[in-house]
Structures are given as C-alpha cells and as structure tokens.
Amino acid sequence: MLNFIFFLECWVETQSPLPWATRTMIALGATKGLAFLHNAERPVIYRDFKTSNILLDSVRLYGKAGPQGDETDVSTCVMGTYGYAAPEYVMTGHLTARNDVYSFGVVLLELLTRRKSFDKTRPSKEQNLVEWARPKLNDKRRLLQIIDPRLENQYSVRAAQKACSLAYYCLCHNSKARPLMSDVVETLELLQGINDGEVSSSSLSCLATSSPIPRGPVATGSALDYRIRHS
C-alpha cells in the first residue's frame, strides 16, 4: 500500500505537479476519515495524524488511534510527530480533538506548498513549514506566495485563498479557536465546488498501482458552529 509521504517524496522530484483539484480531493478524503472518528458514538482522537498515515487511491487513514470515548479530553504522554503535533499538546500533554485539527492544518500546508512539515535542506527560516507559512496565510498580498509554483496558476485563486484561510484557522495557537473537523469537511466540500476542473477517477489510481486499498467508512458533515463562508 502506498502512503502519501512516500508519494510526496517522489512527487518533489518529478516535473509534473499534482493538479490542484487532486490535492483538495486528498485533503477532503482525509478529513472525512478524521470527522468519522471524532463524531463516532465513542469519539476517537487520532493523535498522530500526518502524511505518512494517508493511504492513496481510496484516500484512507491508517495507524493506531488514540484515546476513545470519555478519554478524549485527557493528559497523556506526548506521542505526536515533530512538525505535526499541536503546540499545546507538546507543551502539556493535554489531548483533545482540536489537536487532530492542528495536525490536519500542517498536512494541508504540505498539499498547498509541496513542502514537507520539516525540511533541514532548506534555509533555516524555512525549515519549519508552519513557522514559515502561517504569517502569510492571513495576508492577502502574500498568501499566494506559498502556493506550489509548479502549478503555474492552474487553480482558482478564490479556492486557494479559502484553502489558505482554512489552514490558518486550523493552525491557531489557541486550540479553542480551531474549527471542528466536521466544519473542515464542509469547507473543503465548498472548495471542491469552486475548483475550475474536476478530478477523474484515474487521477488517484495512478498514484498507487501495487496492492488495492480497501475502502473504509466515510462520515458526512454535521451541524456546524463554524464556517469559512462561501462568498
């Protein structure tokens, strides 16, 4: 089974950029998986969400899940991956579902920028993806500077602005200001509608040609208390 981080490492070396619509489809598939866990009868915190836990083709999550049910607002030994773990979790060990939202924000940045969460090969100020990108996400004059230049403007600027805004809120230092995962799903579904092109069923199948990936359950959005509005 081919995971996304393996693909990302190969992708960085290729000449052909992954289409914008395919990137948003990967993000949407992953968030539906997280929303399913968070909205289950016994809610589950994934705890260590990262690109290496996204399986391609069907876009499915794998890996060992974290606390469940009544244990989804707890203090634990820190088990997240550097570059993806929420700052309050790293500092205190306090774990909530909003930690998964932060981790998704990092993955979304990777999709938008075609950069890794932490890359020692880059200049010192650009090695940590969040530290480099987040100040630009809320600045309309600079936010498009972080978009993968190999896309060569083959995307909707409006969709890119909303994707950057979503990443900005997911990466809020104040965990209570981050959206719920169900809200993230709805926002990404709106982005799919804004995209100029559509992704064919073969767009992802070409990324994983080895063993088939079984399809897992997919959650739909629920009542929202947060939304990046579609204007």
Helix or strand holding residue 172 (H, E)? none
Indicate the DSSP class of residue 3. B
Hey, which residues does 118 pair with through a beta bridge?
128
Dump strand ranges (E) for 94-151. 94-95
Query: What is the spatial distance between Cα 230 and Cα 189, in angstroms, rounded to a whole number?
Result: 11
Contact between 192 and 15 (Cβ < 8 Å): no
HSE value, Cβ hemisphere, 13 Å, CA-based, for 76: 17
Per annotation, catalytic residue among 48, 57, 100, 183: 48
Contact between 227 and 45 (Cβ < 8 Å): no
Query: What is the spatial distance between Cα 204 and Cα 3, in angstroms, rounded to a whole number?
Result: 12
Q: 70 catalytic, yes or no?
A: no
Query: What is the spatial distance between Cα 71 and Cα 89, in angstroms, rounded to a whole number?
Result: 15
Active site residues: 48
